[in-house]
Amino acid sequence: SPGTQAAVKQSLLQAVQNEQVGAVRRKVADTTGEIAAMIMEDGDWPEIMPFIFEAAKSPTATLRESSMLIFSRLTFVASEKMVSSIPTLKQLCGEVLQDPEKEVKLAALNATACMVQALSSFEQHVATLTDMIPLMVQVLTEALNAQDEEAARTAIEEFISVAEEAPKFFRKHLDPMTQMSIQIVTATNLEDETRFLAVELLVTLAEQAPAMMRKQTTFLQNIVPLALQLMLVVEEVDMAEWNSTADDDDNDTELSSLDVGKDCLDRLALSLGGKTVFTLAFRPDLVPAFLDHPDWKYRHAALSCISQVAEGCAKQMKEHLESIVDQIARRFEDQHPRVRWAAINAMGQLETDLGPDLQNQFHAKVLPALTHVMDDAANPRVQSHAAAAVINFTENCHKDILVPYLDVLLAKLVQLLVGGVRIVQEQAITAIASVADCVEQHFVAYYAQIMPTLKQMLLQCTSKDHRLLRGKTMECVSLIGIAVGRDTFIADAKEVMDQFQATQSAALDPDDPQASYLLQAWGRVAKALGQDFIPYLSVVMPPLLKSVSIKADVEVVDEAAEDEEEDEDIATVIVQTDAGAKKVALKTSALEEKATACTMLVCYFSELQEGMFPWIQSVTELMVPLLGFIYYEEVRTAAAALMPELIKSAVASLHKGLCDAGYVGGMSGMIFDRLIKSAVEEPEPDVQLSMLEALHESLTNGGPLCLASVDKVKDTLEALKTVMGEVAERVKTRAEAQQDEDFDEEAAETQQTEAERDDDLLDQCGSALAAVTKTHKEAMAQLFQEYLEVFGALVHSPTPSHRRIGVCMFDEVLEGLEGLGQAYMPQLLPALLQFSADPSPEVRQAAVFGLGVCAQYGGAFFASMLGQVMQRIQEMMGQPDARAEEVVHSTDNAVSALAKVIEFQEEALGEQKAAAVAAFLAYLPITGDEEEGVLVHGRLCGMLERGEPVIMNEPAKWIPVVMGIFGKVVGTSTVNDEVTQRIKVILGRMQATLPAEVSQASFASIPPAEQQKLQQLLQS
């Protein structure tokens, strides 16, 4: 009741004033602020703000502190209400920031920081608060001067929180802020924790406002040297102990100076951009000088720097790749083992971040160097890391590059596997697996030598110390099985799977790594064996579904809550809920197991299809809700990838008589209801792309059984409309950002990456639109008029890629509707004609492809516009640069459109047909658009199979032309097997039916190499 609420409010305010125990009083103040925030979301508490102002002026320090604690809790819900009171609130916080008591000043600093963050969306109002920065900084400097580092760290954390939400708040005071942070970092008398927080402040500003920080000279001059100086603080360790430790077994969880420096460089390269950071890092006095420094720690720091910035500086490093690879490889021979390790680590990182360019250009330098350093038996950790670098190399390598090195490389890896210490064996066996995965069938030659060793390891590696090695052995065996294929692997498969089954039946400890490896190994064996694996499903599926069913071990708190001590197995994510943003702590190992299990289900259903029928229903019920699993995007991505495979398996089961259409329809309904919803609600664009891909593939796999009603088709169109609307909003936001005073070249590059991702989303919207049109023609014919303007909005974009996607959507709908699309011809055919003259070749290509679709399905309306269409096609084919690289695809599609006009609009062409056929033959063959080439050359075959009169009435004139076209296209990617066989039949028929002199003269008119190709085809 209102009376009770009033009494509670009054009691809280009295408790704040009267509580004497500091910790309790702060809790009461926080609670009062939280309750006030809840009340003020929908209502009001008129007494609260006067209380805060009165308490802030109290002679009692504890009450002044409480006023700030309450206010800080109110800021985020009352931000709009605060706008009109900013001058008053600013004065209030400004006065309390100068309070003589430390705890009061810190509370005021927190309240000020919260106010700035709460107002961050009101940029003009935040700007009025910037003159408070000196007072805020004064709180920090006073704490440092008093040698109160705990208070100083609290203050720095407040600055970091503001930098995360409102970095441009600091713009007018950026130089002194930067100088202060640098002074703290370089003050060796301060505790590491304090110095590291100052680094975090600088890096956060770079991440949140990169363009602003790229203009900050003091920051640019000092940040990379600072990071490198931090990385020189490397603990001297006993080398025997160092060599006995695997790279991922370092149990020291305390953040080191080296860790902070490396993290700083990594984040700077990704935020500031490669152009800026590469220039800073490779200054003559930094990385180049460090690489040749007599102190090994400098060389170690330089190589670590290269590793850390490689991803963000990939473009710039590729421009200097030879020099960088040479410098790193030279350090493989360094006198200090830890420098050799760092060099190998750098090379491995570059193989990942700069592949496949590095592999393609420098395999002859890198692979022999890695093989050579594997001989460093005195330093097992170096040997181990060299094997790990081979893994990196293979992941971005074409098999043809690796094959010449197999004899030496595999011999060395097997030597390490058999004779090395455990940490070497663990990397060597993974390297062998990666090599097999890369070279595929080429591994067959080594199978008989290596597989017996692996089987023996499965039998013998049973101790607790060897659990990881045995898990990696499972991984290696299963990857080799896929590489060599069923026929080679089948002889060992039963023995291997018996070992897997025995492992699964054993009571494994919760932390036993074999469980995770086994989960994935079963899936790979299924891929290697195909249908032969089905008998093992009863063994594999129950524990797999148990892993899929793992519940998220979560702890939910408010986003503003303090971070507790970090656990390496705990990840923190921010989740949007009905109650606002919440910080969720998650046990990552459990989520990784869940994601892996979901991915394995994709593998099983993809490979075994109807063989998975007994599990379809239970897996569908388990996996469909995971499309909305908010805690882990890898789970959502795997769930999305599984949906089309579930539908494909159900349809295959239907065809095998294992179920009826009602079963498939019911399962599809469950999937599409959630998939459509998830495609709209997904917050991460990359995962949203996976959802749209799943929608497209599921529609394709399920066909007309997918969407049970017109309403479901409408739901799908509404989802695509929403996604496109989100893209349009991001386009608008990027355009507004370009007006910002800090917008620069690197910001433009970042925007370009975001724009390309959005183009991928729009392309997938187009693919989904095409799939729903092809599978649900009648519903789409009924509904599309309502959405014509929505999808058509793209064609009016100033961005060529958006116009291309919009035109492609028109094409897809008309092609999918077939004859039902004639109702849309009066609206779409004139638009396609208009865009066939667009300045952008990619738009012209899409538009003229659409003209071909209209020729096929447009009927009488197309015939009425034939003259305009033919004129446009002739203009495109007749332009002087028609086959130039930048326009050849649009020209090829014009030729394809002409072929469809000849085939489907013969009556409308009338006397123009002979000239149209002549123009068609004169242009062939298609050389640019290979996919369209297959179709066009197939249409040429169709003309000849139909006995096209224009050609067959004058064989002496046209058969040499046809023969010349066939001679050019046979054996190229512009014909597939089907078209090649049709050409073979046509050539045989020509030999049998044409006058001998015509046939012989036609054959003799083409070059000898092409004659030989056609002869070989006829004899095949």
Spatial separation of the C-alpha atoms in residues 258 and 230, rounded to whole Å: 6
Between 307 and 572, whose confidence is greater? 307
Provide the 8-state DSSP code for 122.
-
**Residue 589 pLDDT > 90:** no
CB atoms within 10 A of CB 11: 11
Chain-wide mean pLDDT for the chain? 92
Q: What local confidence, expressed as pLDDT, does residue 125 receive?
A: 80
Q: What is the pLDDT of residues 382-405, one digit of tens each?
A: 999 999 999 999 999 999 999 999
Distance of CA 673 to the CA centre of its chain: 25
Q: What local confidence, expressed as pLDDT, does residue 728 receive?
A: 94
pLDDT class of 329 with cuts at 50, 70, 90: very high
pLDDT class of 906 with cuts at 50, 70, 90: very high
Say what the alpha-carbon torsion angle 841, 843, 844, 847 is, to the nearest 10 degrees: 160
pLDDT class of 24 with cuts at 50, 70, 90: confident
Q: What local confidence, expressed as pLDDT, does residue 35 receive?
A: 83
Q: What is the pLDDT of residues 882-891, one digit of tens each?
A: 999 999 999 9
Mean pLDDT of 755-765: 96
Q: What is the pLDDT of residues 414-434, one digit of tens each?
A: 999 998 899 999 999 999 999
Q: What is the pLDDT of residues 601-648, one digit of tens each?
A: 999 999 999 999 999 999 999 999 999 999 899 999 999 999 999 999
Dig out the tokens for 421 from the structure.
């210490």
Dig out the tokens for 387 from the structure.
């094997």
Q: What local confidence, expressed as pLDDT, does residue 583 receive?
A: 62
* HEC readout, 300-320: HHHHHHHHHHCCCCHHHHHHC
Spatial separation of the C-alpha atoms in residues 680 and 611, rounded to whole Å: 33
Q: What local confidence, expressed as pLDDT, does residue 393 receive?
A: 98
Q: What is the pLDDT of residues 110-164, one digit of tens each?
A: 999 999 998 887 778 888 899 999 999 999 999 999 999 999 999 999 999 999 9
Three-state DSSP class for residue 882: coil
Q: What share of the chain is helix, strand, coil (3-state, %, to 5)?
A: 80, 0, 20
**Residue 270 pLDDT > 50:** yes
**Residue 260 pLDDT > 90:** yes
Among 202, 196, 197, 237, smallest CA distance to 219 is for 202
* End-to-end Cα spacing for the chain: 93
Q: What local confidence, expressed as pLDDT, does residue 38 receive?
A: 81
Q: What local confidence, expressed as pLDDT, does residue 537 receive?
A: 94
Mean pLDDT of 641-658: 96
Give the CB-side neighbour count of residue 701, counting CA atoms within 13 A: 26
Dig out the tokens for 975 from the structure.
């014909």
Which residues face 556 on adjacent strands? 584
pLDDT class of 574 with cuts at 50, 70, 90: low
What is the residue-wise DSSP string for 419-451? HS-HHHHHHHHHHHHHHHHHHGGGGHHHHHHHH
Mean pLDDT of 659-680: 94
**Residue 250 pLDDT > 70:** no
Q: What is the pLDDT of residues 775-803, one digit of tens each?
A: 999 999 999 999 998 888 999 999 999 99
**Residue 581 pLDDT > 90:** no
Mean pLDDT of 233-251: 80
**Residue 471 pLDDT > 70:** yes
Contact call for residues 265 and 313 (beta carbons, < 8 A) = no
Mean pLDDT of 277-282: 97
CB atoms within 10 A of CB 449: 11
191 contact partners, CB below 8 Å, separation of at least 6: 149
Contact call for residues 892 and 932 (beta carbons, < 8 A) = yes
pLDDT class of 565 with cuts at 50, 70, 90: very low
- Helices 86-97 and 133-145 sit at what angle, rounded to 10 degrees? 20
In percent, the amount of the chain with pLDDT more than 90 equals 79
Spatial separation of the C-alpha atoms in residues 211 and 219, rounded to whole Å: 12
Spatial separation of the C-alpha atoms in residues 984 and 1004, rounded to whole Å: 17
Which residues face 558 on adjacent strands? 582
**Residue 252 pLDDT > 90:** no
pLDDT class of 557 with cuts at 50, 70, 90: low
CB atoms within 10 A of CB 407: 11
Which residues face 711 on adjacent strands? none
In percent, the amount of the chain with pLDDT more than 70 equals 96
Contact call for residues 387 and 421 (beta carbons, < 8 A) = no
Mean pLDDT of 746-768: 94
**Residue 722 pLDDT > 60:** yes
